[in-house]
Each structure stands twice: as C-alpha cells, then as structure tokens.
Amino acid sequence: SAEELDVRVRAAKERLGDRVKILGHFYQREEVVRHADYVGDSFQLANAAKAHPEAEAIVFCGVHFMAETADLLSGPEQAVILPNLAAGCSMADMADIDQVEECWEQLAEVYGDMDAPDAEGLVPVIPVTYMNSSAAIKGFVGRHGGIVCTSSNAQTVLEWAFARGRRVLFFPDQHLGRNTAKAMGVPLEQMPMWNPRKPLGGATPEELEQSRVILWHGFCSVHRRFTVEQIDKARAEHPGVRVIVHPECPMAVVDAADESGSTDYIRRAIEGATEPTTFAIGTEVNLVQRLAADNPQHTIFCLDPVVCPCSTMYRIHPGYLAWVLEGLVAGHVLNRITVPQDVAGPARLALERMLAAKP
Ligand code: 13P
Ligand code: SF4
C-alpha cells in the first residue's frame, strides 16, 4: 500500500543518512517529492547535483536527461541513480544525434567553414541545446563551441551565443527557442525551422543566410496542449486572473498569457504575491496542484481542465524509489546512469559554459 511504501522509503533513507541525496523535479508526484532532500527546476537540480560531493549516491527523481546531467556534474565516484529507467522525455528523443550531425554537415555547405570567424569575430553558427536533450546532443554542442540552456536562463544563453556567432541552431524545443528569441526582438522570418526529412531542412539558402535562430522541430507533448481558448475562458470566468505559462507552450499561448517562465519562476511568482490572487497556470499538473495546496491564500488552477501530467515523470513511482534505496542499503547500486567517457568531456564543457554564463 501507499503507506507501506512510504514507511519503506523513510526507513531506507534513515539507514543511508548522508550517503545518499534524493533530488526531485517539481513535476514529480507528491508521494515522491516528500522524500526529496532538494526539489527544484532543471537548472537548480543541475546545481544541486554538483553541490553534494559527500554523498555516495544521488537518487534522481526526474527524467533520464536530468540524471545524465547529474552524472556529468557530480563527482566521478558518485553514482547517479534513476529509479525507473523508462522515465525518458519525448522531447529529448526528438533531437536524434545522427539527424543533428547531418544537419550540421548541410549547414556547412551553406555557410562554409563553421569554425572560421568573420570580420566581426563571429562564427557562422553556435549550437544551443535545451537541457531537455540527450548527453550525446550536449556532447555535440560542446564539441562545436556551443552551450546548454534551461527554461530559466534561455535568454542569457542566447545572448552568450549571439556574442560568439552570427546565428544559433537551437534544439530540441522549437517553442522555447521561438519564444525566447522573439522576446529578444528576433523577427519570426529569421527563425526557419529545420525539418530533418528535407534537404536543407526544407529552407532555401537565402532563408538560411538571413536566419538568426534555426529551430529544431521538437516540442513537449504536455505543454503543447495549452491553448489560447483556455486562457480566454479563464479570463472570462475569473476577472483579474493572472495567467502564467511555461515557455515550452506554443507562441500564441505565451503571447496571450500575462507572464511566462520556468517552473521555478512560476513558483516564485505565486509565493511572491502579497494579495490573495487567482492564478491560471500553464504547466504540468503535479506542480500546479502542489502550488495550490501550499498556497491556500490564493486560488490556483491548471489552464488545462483535463489533467495533464507528464507521463514519463510519473514513471518514478514510490515503489521504484523504495527499491533503489533498499538496494543501496544492501550494497547494490541499481539503475545507475553513466554517460560514456567520449561524450562526457564535451557535454560537461557545454554545461559548464551554461553555469558560468551571466546575464
Ligand atoms: P524546467 O524545470 O526548466 O522549468 O523545465 C520543465 C521541464 O519540462 C522539465 O522537463
Ligand atoms: Fe519532457 Fe515535457 Fe515531460 Fe518535461 S514535461 S520531461 S519536456 S515531456
């Protein structure tokens, strides 16, 4: 039963003490989050993975790319454990390393030497990947002078990239790329989308010449469900409602909202509101429900009336958490995530550039 699992997790955690740190993403279910030593967005969790060198193991309650990132940033002796190996991310899977390599080769045919700076010292393209991508993609980015971003620092990272390159190749999330670049004043005509099934990604050489941000065709299946109609309805039914959405939502939804920001931005906006306020939130429902429970002074609801959890985040069941913790008690490291050595070096470089990038 749920209570038995709760008791088992607590007992194993107590026996392990400081030997283990449990990190949990905001989208994790309540029965998991309550056991986490640290709860945060993907940027905060990347920092948290670096910050506990004393722990033998980091149990990462989130999805696969986050556990890979934790492995890259934690110490070499530390084991990063993903309680359920099937907890992936459909968006991360949309940037396939072979397709990305092929894209880069085709771009080199248009732009020439990809490493050669022009008269202003800018190379033709800086690759930028959203955290939500495989370690292989982060490694690709690191090898080609690029950088990682999260939804909480995408603008800072794009500024870093524009200081070094004429344009950015952004993957996998077209929406985060478009919403961020648009907010920085990049016109939509200068943001072609690369379709890996078409020659030159389906763009003309002129479009690629004029481009500032080349978008990859990925998206988040949770956030793309939010609509402008839902926002209109929320405004009609709750005059004065504050609408905040995640930047993985489509552009029209971000434009129609009052604000957009990462999961931690949303949390801070709610916790910082001094007057009782009605909030309509466009992000994963587990986070919205927790924010509603933790902030009873406000009225908080999810824009999508049909419950929309991230199905892969949800695969971290407390049963798996109990299983990996009890494994550690018995001396077994189960479900360890290890990034291969050849990928780890450049991937770490791309992550370290992000951690060092300042607004
Ligand atoms: P953040 O934690 O960066 O807000 O990202 C949300 C997300 O989709 C995680 O998978
Ligand atoms: Fe991936 Fe979207 Fe789930 Fe985040 S919410 S893990 S981007 S599918």
User: The domain containing residue 69 runs over which residues?
Assistant: 2-88+313-339
> What percentage of the chain's residues is helix, strand, coil (to nearest 5)?
50, 15, 35
Query: H-helix or E-strand containing 47?
Result: helix 42-50
Residues at the binding site for iminosuccinate are: 25, 42, 130-132, 151, 246-248, 263
Ranking 42-46, 61-65, 223-227, 307-311 by mean pLDDT, the lowest is 307-311
Residue 9 has pLDDT above 90, yes or no: yes
pLDDT in tens, 134-182: 999 999 999 999 999 999 999 999 999 999 999 999 999 999 999 999 9
Please identify, by atom number, the ligand 1 atom nearest to the C-alpha of residue 262: 4
Give the torsion through C-alpha atoms of 296, 40, 83, 142, to 10 deg: 150
Kindly identify the ligand whose nearest atom is closest to the C-alpha of 219: 2
Tell me what percent of the residues of the chain surpass a pLDDT of 70: 99
Same domain, 84 and 98: no
Same domain, 202 and 230: no
Same domain, 201 and 240: no
Give a yes or no: residue 352 inside a domain.
Answer: no
Model confidence at 43, pLDDT cuts 50, 70, 90, reads confident
Give a yes or no: residue 345 inside a domain.
Answer: no
Task: Specify the pLDDT at position 306.
Answer: 82
- What residue owns the CA closest to ligand 2's atom 3? 310
Same domain, 46 and 113: no
Q: Using DSSP, state whether 207 is helix, strand or coil.
A: helix
| Residue where a domain terminates, one of 219, 246, 263 | 219
Same domain, 115 and 178: yes
- What residue owns the CA closest to ligand 1's atom 6? 263
d(CA 158, CA 139): 18
Cβ(312) – ligand 2 distance below 6 Å: yes
Task: Specify the pLDDT at position 358.
Answer: 77
d(CA 166, CA 89): 30
Please identify, by atom number, the ligand 1 atom nearest to the C-alpha of residue 151: 3
Give a yes or no: residue 72 inside a domain.
Answer: yes
Give a yes or no: residue 64 inside a domain.
Answer: yes
- What residue owns the CA closest to ligand 2's atom 6? 89
Same domain, 214 and 100: yes
Residue 359 has pLDDT above 70, yes or no: no
For residue 52 the two structure tokens come to 């506990």
Q: Which residue has the tokens 């992550």?
A: 351
Residue 293 has pLDDT above 70, yes or no: yes
User: Is the separation of the CB atoms in 89 and 135 below 8 Å?
Assistant: no
d(CA 139, CA 161): 17
Cβ(9) – ligand 2 distance below 6 Å: no
pLDDT in tens, 19-37: 999 999 999 999 999 999 9
- ipTM of the complex, rounded to two decimals: 0.96
Same domain, 14 and 117: no
Same domain, 282 and 251: yes
d(CA 356, CA 228): 36
**Mean model confidence pLDDT for the chain:** 96
For residue 138 the two structure tokens come to 């982060």
pLDDT in tens, 198-236: 999 999 999 999 999 999 999 999 999 999 999 999 999
Same domain, 84 and 135: no
Same domain, 27 and 81: yes
User: Is the separation of the CB atoms in 216 and 172 below 8 Å?
Assistant: yes
Determine the distance separating the centroid of ligand 2 and the alpha carbon of 171, expressed in angstroms: 14
Task: Specify the pLDDT at position 161.
Answer: 98
d(CA 299, CA 277): 6
Same domain, 208 and 250: no
Closest CA to 281 of 297, 299, 294: 299
Q: Identify the CATH number of the domain in which residue 233 sits.
A: 3.40.50.10800
Residue 298 has pLDDT above 70, yes or no: yes
Give a yes or no: residue 51 inside a domain.
Answer: yes
Please identify, by atom number, the ligand 1 atom nearest to the C-alpha of residue 222: 8
What's the pTM value of the predicted model, to 2 decimals? 0.95
| Residue where a domain terminates, one of 219, 237, 264 | 219
Q: Based on the structure, what is the number of domains in the chain?
A: 3
Same domain, 188 and 97: yes
For residue 202 the two structure tokens come to 């389906």
Cross-strand pairs, 59: 22, 81
Task: Specify the pLDDT at position 125.
Answer: 98
Residues at the binding site for [4Fe-4S] cluster are: 89, 220, 310
Determine the distance separating the centroid of ligand 1 and the alpha carbon of 67, expressed in angstroms: 13
pLDDT in tens, 98-146: 999 999 999 999 999 999 999 999 999 999 999 999 999 999 999 999 9
Task: Specify the pLDDT at position 11.
Answer: 98
Please identify, by atom number, the ligand 1 atom nearest to the C-alpha of residue 41: 2
Tell me what percent of the residues of the chain surpass a pLDDT of 90: 95
Give a yes or no: residue 359 inside a domain.
Answer: no
| Residue where a domain terminates, one of 193, 219, 245 | 219
